[in-house]
Amino acid sequence: MSFEQVFARIAEGAVQRESDRTLPHEPLQWLREAGFGKVRVPREYGGQGASLPELTELLIRLGRADSNLPQLLRGHLGFVESRLAHPDPQVRDRWLRRIAAGVIVGNAQSERSSASWWAPETTLQNGRLNGRKYYSTGTLFADWIHTTAADEAGGIVNVFVPAAAPGVTRLDDWDGFGQRLTGSGTTIFEDVPVAPQDVEPAANASLAAFFQLVHLATLAGIGRAAVAETVAFVNGRARNLFNPDLPAAADPQVQAVVGRIAGASFAADAATLAAARALEAHGDDPDAADAAVFAAQGAVARLVLGLTTELFEVGGASATAGRRGLDRHWRNARTVASHNPIVYRDRIVGQYRLDGTSPSSAYPRPRLEEAA
């Protein structure tokens, strides 16, 4: 299960895409052709049957090449997990075979106007979908869109629509200072026709730990890229800051900085992969899985944010040159780490450890029969 040549090809253009704000349609196509979107699909459906730790290592490597790509695929990967766990074998078969054939699914669920995910203003009435979603990560690149809506009975349903369906508008209006190429903008649905088989009741099962694991892998990938580019920068400098007779790589202070950031990246990798193993091992215990991944979240985010800041100590102001793009590592890490802020997850993990309070209780959801 090797994608190294594709990852190397993606990495070659990463800084230029970032500088020009060129959306990675072509790199995503390379991944699609290589079968990356189906790595978790079981072999009997045409996939590669990867374990969660195997997927996580691949996402870290992809994040090292270009951190926009694992994040823009996050909705797709989460959708695959939802299909793997779906109780209806016909639904599993239909979607897993589509994904094995190369279909990419985007995510469009959040709303700026709604106070709650469980009270969307988007509606599905008489088979027609109307509404506006934001943070639609990956939808600009997708073949299908997974969204949510309130139906005629007032329940919440999952809705799946072809991205090219009449009435679907996808906007690249994400204006964050990092992860600029993830397509995390607005999706508008105007009287979009929806087939009955593409509507499902909103499920109680939470994929919070899995979705956070993808963020951790993205952060770990950013850490690896930052270390590699810092080493290349130092080795390319013929003199150090205070002694022009010695190359930068001979400076003990620079060596110490590189050692610290390399150690931080190694620790971030280890915590991320440990979280993946815990999620796989505790698949039947959502509380334990959530607690393990959320605990890793704080550690990984702090490690990567720290190393992407400290790396600038190796070269003075010359390390901030825009053509090098070293700043993108901190901007991207800060943006990814701002999803599901650590301050909330720290408390959730602490409460779970102290008194056993379920992590999912921090995100109250109605029972399935109340939402259907």
62-109 tens-digit pLDDT:
999 999 999 999 999 999 999 999 999 999 999 999 999 999 999 999
5: pLDDT strictly greater than 70: yes
- Give the residue-averaged pLDDT of 313-323: 87
What amino acid is encoded at 240 in this protein? N
pLDDT on residue 227: 98
- State pTM to two decimals: 0.94
Q: Which of residues 262 and 372 earns the better pLDDT score? A: 262
DSSP summary character for residue 158? E
In what helix (H) or strand (E) does residue 191 lie, and over which residues does it extend? Answer: strand 187-193
111: pLDDT strictly greater than 60: yes
What integer best gives the mean pLDDT of the chain?
Answer: 92
Strand partners, 125: 128
pLDDT cut 90: percent of the chain above it = 81
138: three-class secondary structure by DSSP: coil
- 203-247: pLDDT as tens digits: 756 799 999 999 999 999 999 999 999 999 999 887 776 667 678
Structural contact between residues 241 and 314, judged by C-beta atoms closer than 8 angstroms: no
**Alpha-carbon distance 213 to 223, whole Å?**
15
Q: Which domains does the chain have, with CATH numbers?
A: 4-100 (1.10.540.10), 105-201 (2.40.110.10), 208-359 (1.20.140.10)
118: pLDDT strictly greater than 90: no
pLDDT cut 70: percent of the chain above it = 94
**Alpha-carbon distance 212 to 198, whole Å?**
26
Closest CA to 78 of 258, 254, 210: 210
Residue 97 CB partners (closer than 8 Å, separation 6+): 45, 46
Closest CA to 64 of 12, 136, 2: 12
Residue 124 has a CB neighbour count (10 Å cut-off) of 24
pLDDT on residue 163: 97
